[in-house]
Structure 1
Amino acid sequence: MSFCAQLREEAREIWDGWHQHPFIAGIRDGSLEREKFIYWIKQDYLYLQDYARIFALAGAKASRLEDMQSFARLMDGILNTEMSLHRSYCAQFGITAQELETLDKSPTCQGYTDFLVRTAALETVGVTVAALLPCIWGFYEIGTRLQEVGDTSPDNPYRDWIAMYSSAEFAQLSQWSKELMERYAREAGSGEREQMKKAFVISSKYEALFWEMAHTLEEWKY
């Protein structure tokens, strides 16, 4: 069994839960309230900026040119492929660039990005890759499943979302990430591999919390 398959099994219940979440169900059939989608777009826009920075930090710590190139490709894909979808939806919903620049992170978004930054700063590159993997791989899994069973007709306002995360371009980003994970796992000792699994599961939990955050329009209480 590949290391990525082991990771997927470690977080199986969490990942399976994503597909049943009301937010994803609303994307699938187009019934998701616009307010919740706009909330998600804004928070994910903030999240992806830090997510791309973590790839840059990992690339700076990498010892091989090949890995540095992989991290650079992934960062470019996040900034110029994935975030292009966010920018198009922002334009569609009348969200200005100035508005995006003045947004505050929700509690869940803040916690998730803080975890990623801490991991990149204090842990090995391999553990950092494991923490980054649930987002990019998980979105591709969600996108491909929605492409198979969801409403992709012009009547679904979220059909571009489904198309983006099931696209060949996003498949390549996911595959690059998994290849990096396998390479670092092969070189890691048993202790580091356990830390990789732990980081992967924590990020998987944050992914679940992120869907719930958008579904409930989470706010700071204090």
Structure 2
Amino acid sequence: MSDAGYGRAFGLMRRAAGGAWRDYTRHAFVGGLGDGSLPEAAFLHYLRQDYVFLTHFARAWALAVVKSETAAEMQAAVGTVNALITHEMPLHVGICAEAGISGKALFATRERPGNLAYTRFVLDAGFSGDLADLLAALMPCVLGYGEIGARLAQEATSQRYRDWIDTYAGSEYQEACRAAGALFDQALTRRIGADFEASPRWARLCDRFRTATELEIGFWQMGMQP
């Protein structure tokens, strides 16, 4: 999946993140999803933590509505909140239910420190900054999963985690990624100008993006340690 499909700002920040982006999208956990070698216990542990993460992530996208300055920005943020709550989170509920984990137990999952650090970092970016700051912290998760899903759909050698892969490779999620990437471009253009890299804020925004990417790496690592 070319980064161009998700917008110019994402492509620039993705490249600026360097090795961290590779370590995130090519992590051993991701490899285990593709070849089926990831232990089920690790996958279920990850899903439970990710469900908690998505609860906070949806709140962060709701905060994006508050930080919006145009109706188009608000509509894009609302669309993402809806996709998280009605499409992505039910995936976790369904897979966990098949493994005997109830919805009540899933929602009551105790948040691991790495999960807490990541979600609060994202929320702090939104509370302390504007929409550009918040989106820079949100994009690694949204667009990274889109990139991973699209690649694994082509490269996976096992069907074991195909439901997960198909969710992120599917047309609905990919369309959500393109919409999020377009929102990112529009939000940055409005707040720092069309020449992103010339803005005094660019380095700080890239740092937010890279930090979120590093926290994604930590999230995968946490998933491998039930």
**Does the alignment reach a TM-score above 0.5?**
yes
| Residue of structure 2 in register with 1:199 after alignment | 208
Pair 1:108–1:140, CA change in 2 (3 A)? same
Q: How does 1:45-124 map to 2 (within 5 A)?
A: 45-124=51-130
Measured against aligned partners, the alpha-carbon deviations of 1:40-76 in whole angstroms (never above 9, x if no partner) come to 0000000000001011011012121111010000010
Structure 1 runs of 4+ with >3 Å offset: none
Q: How does 1:103-182 map to 2 (within 5 A)?
A: 103-151=109-157, 156-182=159-185
Q: Which letter maps to 1:104?
A: R
Q: Distance in 1 between matches of 2:214 and 2:147?
A: 16
Q: Distance in 2 between matches of 1:188 and 1:17?
A: 30
Q: Which letter maps to 2:221?
A: E
Q: Distance in 1 between matches of 2:108 and 2:191?
A: 41
Q: How far apart are residue 3 of structure 1 and its match?
A: 2.2
Q: Distance in 2 between matches of 1:181 and 1:85?
A: 26
TM-score relative to the length of structure 1? 0.92
- Aligned counterpart in structure 2 of residue 208 of structure 1, from 217, 221, 224: 217
Q: Which letter maps to 1:161?
A: W
CA RMSD of aligned residues (A): 1.4
5+ long unaligned stretches in structure 1: 218-222
- How many residues align? The count is 214
5+ long unaligned stretches in structure 2: 193-198
- Aligned counterpart in structure 1 of residue 38 of structure 2, from 28, 32, 41: 32
Q: Which letter maps to 1:206?
A: L
| Residue of structure 2 in register with 1:183 after alignment | 186
